[in-house]
Amino acid sequence: MVNLLRVFTKGCKFLGITINEIAQKANVSTATVSMVLNNKPGISDATREKVFKIAKELGYSLSPLKRANYRNQGKLQLAIYRKHSKVVSDTPFFHALIEGIESKSRHYSYQLIIKYLSDSSDIDAIQKEIKENSIDGMLLLGTEMEEQDFIKFTEMEIPFLLLDSYFMNINANYVVIDNVSGLYRATKYLLDRGHREIGYLKSSIPIQNFKERYEGYLKAMNEASLVPNSRHTISLLPTMDGAYEDMVKALSRKTHLPTAFVADNDIIAFGAMKALKESNIKIPEEVSIVGFDDMPFCTITDPKLTTINVDKNALGQLAVENLVYMMEREKMIFCKTTLGVTLVERDSVSSII
């Protein structure tokens, strides 16, 4: 009995209830209870569910990993919301993010189902499909979402969280990037190197992430007692070709350029760099540039792009961990979890001190 209890308490919080009490109530042997609670093979699904249910009723608090195993391969859904597909696309950023979600789902023994949604998706149809497919929880990738797009999803009847976007007016669970801090650091990095004319390469497609990044830029400029020049804020389409073409048009106007730019993301920065180089504007000697995301191509651009690193894989794993934690709680609470970022220094910034 002592040895069985020792095995049992490895996976559970012991609250004075014996393994024998669980066995008696479930009408099974103590050995069967031990095997179920330690996730050993050779036990039927029906018996596993019965023992798990009784253990919970008696007050045992099981870890998310154990609970996931007892659920016998439950299902999580990653719902990727596409409003215009200008930001959420086939890029290394989203590949790494989804890879993190997949790996952590496997770790918790959940099957991951990926589904694409749009602003025309019907919430009732989504709810029906969730019930039919026995989905236990949902990760909603809301990168392209606006607040009004998200409201209808708050009616979801299963645990869910919004990934990569945040709306202050809506109580929900969020996992996001520290956008404000990232662009603040990028701008401060340029300021520390003597730059005072710092422009902004701004996405012409607004999303919440980009709005927050612009806030970080304004905060750093304000702390330096600098007023951003509106002529140095250039709107570019957030695709490589689109950013390049829009930057070419901006440069054709022969306007005075700042000594440096920060960009909403690396793709915009890369497109702008291409246009600048074709106009014989030297980077970083004449114009310095800092991106955001740390995409793989940042190390092969000429010059190599200084940027803000986001651990995309960790972001995906963190989202799954938070969702599983929510599924373990009987009472709903609202949390916003923010993933920190770091500055990666490369060759696209010069000092003018």
Same domain, residue pair 284 and 206: yes
Q: Is residue 172 part of a domain?
A: yes
Q: Which residue has the higher pLDDT, 55 or 115?
A: 115
Using pLDDT thresholds of 50, 70 and 90, give the confidence band for residue 221: very high
Mean pLDDT is lowest, of 77-86, 171-180, 216-225, 340-349, for 77-86
Question: Which residues have C-beta within 8 Å of that of residue 329, sequence separation ≥ 6?
Answer: none
Using pLDDT thresholds of 50, 70 and 90, give the confidence band for residue 41: low
Domain with residue 170: its CATH number is 3.40.50.2300
Average pLDDT over residues 168-173: 96
Q: Is residue 331 part of a domain?
A: yes
Question: Which residues have C-beta within 8 Å of that of residue 86, sequence separation ≥ 6?
Answer: 144, 205, 237, 238, 239, 242
pLDDT value, residue 6: 37
Instruction: Give the Cα separation of 299 and 46 in Å (integer).
Output: 54
Looking at the structure of the chain, the number of domains it has is 3
pLDDT value, residue 55: 82
Q: Is residue 179 packed enough to be buried (19+ CB in 10 Å), middle (13-18) or exposed (0-12)?
A: buried
Mean pLDDT is lowest, of 44-48, 245-249, 255-259, 295-299, for 44-48
Q: Is residue 250 part of a domain?
A: yes
Q: Is residue 353 part of a domain?
A: no
Same domain, residue pair 106 and 149: yes
From 32, 62, 92, the end of a domain falls on 62
Same domain, residue pair 190 and 127: no
Same domain, residue pair 165 and 224: no
The answer on pLDDT for 281 being more than 90 is: yes
Percentage, residues of the chain above pLDDT 90: 68
pLDDT value, residue 28: 85
Percentage, residues of the chain above pLDDT 70: 90
Average pLDDT over residues 246-272: 96
Same domain, residue pair 146 and 83: yes
Instruction: Give the Cα separation of 269 and 307 in Å (integer).
Output: 9
The answer on pLDDT for 131 being more than 80 is: yes
Instruction: Give the Cα separation of 313 and 97 in Å (integer).
Output: 5
pLDDT value, residue 32: 80
Average pLDDT over residues 285-296: 97
pLDDT value, residue 19: 77
Q: For strand 342-344 and strand 307-309, is the pairing parallel, antiparallel, or unpaired?
A: antiparallel
From 38, 62, 86, the end of a domain falls on 62
Q: Share the mean pLDDT of the chain.
A: 88
Same domain, residue pair 163 and 100: yes
Q: Is residue 219 part of a domain?
A: yes
Q: For strand 111-117 and strand 174-177, is the pairing parallel, antiparallel, or unpaired?
A: unpaired
Mean pLDDT is lowest, of 61-65, 286-290, 342-346, for 61-65
pLDDT in tens, 295-316: 999 999 999 999 999 999 999 9
Nearest to 319 by CA among 90, 96, 36: 96
The answer on pLDDT for 16 being more than 80 is: no
pLDDT in tens, 69-93: 554 458 999 999 999 877 888 788 9
Q: Is residue 170 part of a domain?
A: yes
Average pLDDT over residues 18-39: 79
Domain that holds residue 188: 179-310
Instruction: Give the Cα separation of 229 and 33 in Å (integer).
Output: 70
The answer on pLDDT for 61 being more than 50 is: yes
Same domain, residue pair 191 and 302: yes
Using pLDDT thresholds of 50, 70 and 90, give the confidence band for residue 67: low
Q: Is residue 345 part of a domain?
A: no
Same domain, residue pair 223 and 267: yes
pLDDT value, residue 14: 38
pLDDT value, residue 43: 67
Same domain, residue pair 94 and 158: yes
pTM score of the predicted model: 0.79
Q: Is residue 347 part of a domain?
A: no
CA within 13 Å, CB half, 105: 22
